[in-house]
């Protein structure tokens, strides 16, 4: 079991867009970065991920998703690949980037590093739990 963080600009594809999809499933297509593609290739069914809203007024984690189909080539350009993901939970409240920066366990998280632009990043089980603990129940 691996953990990931998936970035998306909500003006392009938001957590609510995912919630409107049949079975709450979407192909995570359009990734045009080799490192991110390689991360997708290494994903397994049932891997979990955080859904992150970027380039918006309040960036942060807005949901939990899981991998439901292993990486496969895109029709338009087989050089690129993507997995299918399914919505597990929309968080009752966003965990903002500002909040994430205050969590000591996350100081090494890739997404928080200056200049990071990767749209898909692995996160550790420890990081996953630290964030998960901040979800309101």
Partner DNA sequence: GCCAACGTTGGC
**Beta carbon of residue 68, minimum distance to DNA (angstroms, whole number):** 23
Residues 37-56 that bind DNA (CB under 7 A): 54-56
Using the 8-state DSSP alphabet, how is residue 100 labeled? Answer: H
Report the candidate in 37, 42, 27 with the shortest Cα–Cα distance to residue 81.
37
CA distances from 47 to 1, 20, 101 (A): 5, 22, 24
With binding defined as CB under 7 A, does residue 34 bind DNA?
Answer: yes
Q: Which of 16, 17, 20, 33 binds DNA (CB under 7 A)?
A: 33
Using CB under 7 A, pick the residue from 68, 91, 94, 97 that binds DNA: 97
**Shortest approach of DNA to residue 7 CB, angstroms?**
5
What is the chain's percent helix, strand, coil content, to nearest 5?
25, 35, 40
Q: Which residues contact DNA by CB under 7 A? A: 7, 9, 32-35, 54-56, 59, 97-98, 113-119
């Amino acid at each position: 079991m691996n953990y990931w963080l998936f970035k998306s600009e909500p003006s392009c594809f938001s957590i609510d867009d995912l919630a409107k999809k049949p079975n709450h499933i979407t192909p995570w297509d359009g990734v045009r970065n080799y490192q991110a593609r390689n991360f997708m290739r290494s994903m397994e069914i049932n891997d979990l991920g955080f859904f992150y809203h970027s380039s918006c007024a309040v960036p942060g984690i807005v949901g939990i998703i899981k991998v439901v189909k292993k990486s496969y080539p895109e029709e338009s350009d087989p050089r690129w690949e993507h997995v299918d993901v399914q919505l597990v939970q929309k968080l009752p409240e966003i965990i903002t980037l500002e909040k994430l920066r205050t969590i000591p366990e996350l100081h090494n998280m890739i997404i928080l590093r200056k200049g990071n632009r990767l749209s898909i990043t692995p996160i550790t089980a420890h990081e996953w739990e630290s964030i998960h603990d901040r979800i309101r129940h």
